Amino acid sequence: MKPYQKVSIQECGEPLVAIPLAKFAVVSPHPYAALGAPYGQFSPYFLRQTVVEKLLQAQTHLQTQKLGWQLQIFDAYRPISVQQFMVDHTFAQLANAAGLNPQNLDESERSRLQSQVLKFWAAPSPNPHTPPPHSTGAAVDLTLIDSGGTVVNMGSAIDEISPRSYPNHFASDPNPNASQYHQNRQLLSNAMSAAGFSQHPNEWWHFSWGDQLWAYQKGGSAIAQYGNAHPLSPISISP
């Protein structure tokens, strides 16, 4: 259990609603669906209603700083089955990169790889007290697009399993491009925090509002408003 998962949840019952994708840039095709993640009839392009409203506020703030820039949506709502698929996929990727067979690991190798994966991915828990952030409809992964439609360079790819993914990794890096990467990350972070979002401590791209991680970062007696989301009807995966 991660520390933030000790935060109490008082589910408010707010519905998942479609992200108005015409107002944002969108990664297409959806990266996890393209890998074969089992969304079934449900879509990643949904969030809780208040979270969508705050996402629009964040983009408005961004555009006061950078005219014509947009948030680019990478991923949002994630059923637990998709969370499991992506955790397994990432585990296998790391094993293969290390020259290991993910189906034939000793206990030490498996533990080491699992530890790496879980620094970035939440466990796909069905326990209603410990939902993965994306399964609550409260979390969104995103980056920036400039006024010319070009993806802004953040210094590392979304979902990269390395210290380069930490939000402030480039703050004191001697790389000649590090200062620009850090400024770009700060621009994204500032836009999202202006709308009330909290940022994942290990991921420059992950922000949430209303879930356990958000409440934990707020501190005090804050409680989470969102547990596992349950769509009431099938929702299309197409952007």
Please indicate if the annotation marks 61 as binding a ligand.
no
**pLDDT at residue 239, as a whole number:** 57
Domains of the chain with CATH codes: 3-218 (3.30.1380.10)
What global pTM score does this model have? 0.94
Please say whether the beta carbons of 26 and 239 come within 8 A. yes
DSSP class per residue in 43-81? -SSEEEHHHHHHHHHHHHHHHHHSTT-EEEEEE----HH
**pLDDT at residue 235, as a whole number:** 46
Catalytic annotation, residues: 203
pLDDT in single tens digits along all 239 residues of the chain: 889 999 999 999 999 999 999 999 999 999 999 999 999 888 999 999 999 999 999 999 999 999 999 999 999 999 999 999 999 999 999 999 999 999 999 999 999 999 999 999 999 998 999 999 999 999 999 999 999 999 999 999 999 999 999 999 999 888 889 999 999 999 999 999 999 999 999 999 999 999 999 999 999 888 999 999 876 544 444 55
**pLDDT at residue 135, as a whole number:** 96
**pLDDT at residue 56, as a whole number:** 98
Radius of gyration, CA atoms only, the chain: 18
At 109, is the secondary structure helix, strand, or coil?
Answer: helix
Please indicate if the annotation marks 206 as binding a ligand.
yes
**pLDDT at residue 22, as a whole number:** 96
